[in-house]
Amino acid sequence: MVCYMVVSPDPNDGCFYVKFGDGRFRASYGTDNPDHLGVENTNHTDDAIYTPSVTGMGVRGNMKVRLGKALEWEYLQCWSVAHSDREWHFIPESTDLPLEQLRQSLKDAMRLFPSLSIPQDMDMESDQLTLEFAKIMGSIEDYEDTPKRKK
């Protein structure tokens, strides 16, 4: 299974938009923002189904999904069903994570992404690389109150 991660900076707002998806990364994501960056991961079988460890408001207790959606729920902290229909997730700088540090964290996450080996039960113990990726993504937050916006 091929999945991808895309990061699209928004120089006007001092923030980033992040997306995980299944299939091949599409260069067309750069139509609105040529500064985007996308990477693929091919370390998973085509028929693999994943169980994210997040359950927000009891909604996802036993849901099984493809890897792109599982990564989104796991690492972009999508806690509600209403929020999970977005493709792009708004990641602004904060007092805890200034813009330059946020940029570096996203760069580090993208460097690791192609080599990740995600267990199908995301509650299971992961390898060191996946744990490092999870730690980086754990410092990044998606803000639910922002409008849906595609880049």
pTM: 0.79
Distance (Å, rounded) from C-alpha 76 to C-alpha 16? 13
Q: Who wins on pLDDT, 148 or 84?
A: 84
pLDDT in tens, 45-99: 777 787 766 655 444 556 778 888 888 877 776 544 444 456 788 888 877 788 8
DSSP 21: E
At a CB cut-off of 8 Å and minimum separation 6, what does 144 contact?
79, 80, 83
Is pLDDT above 50 for 151?
no
Looking up tokens 């120089």, which residue turns up? 11
Instruction: Give the mean model confidence (pLDDT) for residues 17-43.
Output: 81
* Whole-number pLDDT of residue 4: 92
Which of 51, 48, 41 is CA-nearest to residue 2? 41
So what's the pLDDT on residue 75? Answer: 79
Query: Mean of the per-residue pLDDT values for the chain?
Result: 76
